[in-house]
Amino acid sequence: MIILGKGQLGSAFVQQTSGVYVDLDISDEEAVLAYPWPQGEIVVNAAAYTDVDGSENNRKAAWRVNAAGPKYLITAALRAELTLVHISSDYVFDGTETSYSEQSELCPLGVYGQSKAAGDMAMQGKHYLIRTSWLIGQGHNFVQSILKARDPSVVCLNLGRPTFTDTLVSGIMHLLENNCEYGTYNLTNSGQPISWANFAREIYKAAGREDHVLNSFREKGAPRPRNSILELDKIEKTGFKPEDWKDALAKYLC
Is the Cβ–Cβ distance between 159 and 228 less than 8 Å?
yes
Name the active-site residue from 100, 112, 185, 252: 112
Contacts of 160 (CB under 8 A, 6+ apart): 90, 133, 134, 188, 193, 194, 227, 228, 229, 230
Angle CA(17)–CA(23)–CA(27) in degrees, nearest 5?
Answer: 120
DSSP 40-76: T-EEEE------HHHHTT-HHHHHIIIIIHHHHHHHH
91: annotated active-site residue: no
Please answer whether residues 12 and 168 qualify as being in contact, where contact means their C-beta atoms are separated by less than 8 angstroms: yes
Asked if 93 and 104 touch (Cβ cutoff 8 Å), the reply is: yes
Distance CA 174, CA 235 (A): 9
User: What distance in Å separates the CA atoms of residue 249 and residue 145, rounded to the nearest whole number?
Assistant: 14
In one-letter notation, the amino acid at residue 187 is L
CA distance 223 to 207: 30
Distance CA 82, CA 209 (A): 47
| Residues with catalytic roles | 112
